Chain A
Amino acid sequence: MREKREKRIAYVVLTIIAVIFALPLAWIVLASLDKNASLAVSMPDLTGENFKEVLTNTANLRSFLNGLLISLGAATIVIILSTLAAYALSRYEMKHKKMFMLSMLFMTSLPITTVMVPVFKVFVSFGLYDNLFGIVLFMAASGMPYAIWMMKNFMDAVPLSFEEAAWVDGSSRFRGIIRVVLPLMLPGIFTVGIYTFSGCWGNFFVPFILLSTSEKYPASIMLYQFFGQHSVAYGTLAAYSAIYALPSVILYVITQKWMSQGFSMGGGDKG
């Protein structure tokens, strides 16, 4: 009897929490489809105009493209460099390996926000300020410690014997990596790639500090500018937000496939 009542209370409490959590999100969904969207959640006067307006605006499309460029660029660099680094850390004896791994972990957890003032200064001196490629490099560098940490764990799980078999067949070490290690590393590569991509796609502060030309703004900054205008069309704002959030949602759902073995600690999302 008591068990049953406790269970019922749990269901009620969870439902209330879920409703409260859902309300702020409901606004995006409902307002984006509403002809007369306001700031509060309300039943929409259905229309597809908001989405059409966002997707036919060149400046908007360019911001998505910039975001894509930054995120894909950084993810590509991170994947290549962290795979190579993880290979060395996993396969060779090294004197200060533990120290190195611990400093990677240390760097993973430091808030990026704190280094942005000197980064800005460095970028200005090197002519990388207001340069998309500069952003790609910085994003890749700041994503590297966590990527190396994850990639090494994935690499440790690939048995050495497979590789040795390839060497016996006459492969060089490098060919062994390409032919044997990489195919087995695919889940790790995808996980690290998606994680880096999502981190860059959602990042606000880095492009906010390092870019000044509006043509170079990625979606995060564009959305902020859009939101800050005096007369905001709420329906369009919601539609833009929805489109911008979509890749993050889709990629998250995809990673669940690989992470379904249990959520691994470490990293977390950084602002």
Chain B
Amino acid sequence: MRKKGSSLSKFGYLLPAIVLMALFFVWPIILTIYFSFTNLALTGSAAANFRFIGVENYAKMFSDSSVKVSLVTTIFFVVFSVVGQTILGFTIAYLMKAKNKIFRRIVGAIVLAGWVMPETVAAICAYTFMTDKGTLNEILGLFGIGMVSWLFKYPLLSVILANIWHGTAFSMMVYQSALDNVPEDVMESAKMDGAGKLQTLFGVTIPIIKDTVLTNTMLITLSTLGTFGMVYTMTGTTVQTLPIFMYMRAFKNYELGYGTAISMLVLLIGAVFSIFYVKIQGKDMDK
């Protein structure tokens, strides 16, 4: 290979991207860590006396019962969304195998449409579907079931269902391509050995696509963890997942320092999943 350009020029190509990311992405992450140890505030006496307060925010956080509630809410929201999207996405992908092409296209397009929608539009769709005078209650009415105030009585369930509806297409696509790559002869030989459909599914297919299941789970967990717009548009601050709770404390109560301590909690949970994800993906890089 002929050498062109100095060794400095390679950094010249990289530099603008690095500067932009450093200023607007990495720096805020570092500040998150720093601010979480301060009394940073927007108004009041604390705003004038900005100072380092050690682990005070964290101590407050661990004794704050609403943080615990919020953490539990977040776990419910994330776990049920992820499990729901995974099972539903896989089921659709699995059942669609070897079906009529036009039928597959139509079903696929409908599921995808909910995913492609901007978050706010998806939230409004879900809201109108589940609101008191919405489509869901109309349908239940046809079966003689009285009106249920889904959004008020079961707000967490409502946002979980909405999130599953909005996100399933991603898992469906991932599992479709994973299932397409399962070698036909492996399936055939399992069938020859007299394995039933379910046996083949759990004994052969799922072990083969294990890595895909893991990667997909990491990705949807991470995107669910950061969900704000969907929950906020549908239920305001009723369902207090950590991002909503963080927003309230930081921007409604003007406690930016405390807000960043809550951000740190989410960031740490996110970082753990991210590291797992990078580890799985990084394996492929060595090939």
Contact = CB atoms under 8 A, between A and B. Distances in A.
Interface in B112-164: 112-121, 124-129, 131-139
A64 interface: no
7 contacts: A85-B17, A107-B25, A113-B227, A114-B264, A173-B4, A270-B223, A271-B230
B9 interface: yes
A24 to B, nearest CB: 4
Given A109-B273, A113-B226, A173-B9, A10 B124 contact: no
Contact of B263 (A89, A107, A114): A114
Given A145-B21, A173-B4, A121 B174 contact: no
Nearest to A148: B17
Interface in B256-275: 256, 259-260, 263-264, 266-267, 270-271, 273-275
Kindly name the residue among A27, A118, A173, A234 whose own CB sees the greatest number of chain B CB atoms within 10 A.
A118
B92 interface: yes
Interface residues of B, number: 110
A245 B117 contact: yes
A203 B20 CA distance: 20
B52 interface: no
Given A118-B32, A244-B118, A227 B233 contact: yes
Interface string A73-93: 000010011101101110110
Which secondary structure dominates where chain B touches chain A? helix
Nearest to A67: B118
Contact of B125 (A28, A92, A121, A140): A28
Contacts of B177: 262-263
B88 interface: yes
B17 A121 contact: no
Interface string B208-230: 00001001101110110111111
Interface stretch (A35-43, A49-57, A185-193): A35-43
Interface in A225-271: 227, 234, 237, 241, 244-245, 248-249, 252, 262-263, 265-271
A144 interface: yes
Contacts of B134: 39-40
A205 B222 contact: no
Given A105-B282, A111-B223, A268-B220, A24 B110 contact: no
A109 B28 CA distance: 16
Interface in A106-132: 106-107, 109-122
Contacts, number: 304
A157 interface: no
B118 A237 contact: no
B4 A241 contact: no
B32 A85 contact: no
Nearest to B162: A24
B118 A115 contact: no
A101 interface: yes
Given A102-B278, A137-B20, A141-B23, A18 B129 contact: no
A61 interface: no
A58 B196 CA distance: 63
A269 B270 contact: no
B240 interface: no
A209 B145 CA distance: 41
A3 B260 CA distance: 57
Contacts of B112: 252
A110 B222 contact: yes
Contacts of B165: 21, 24
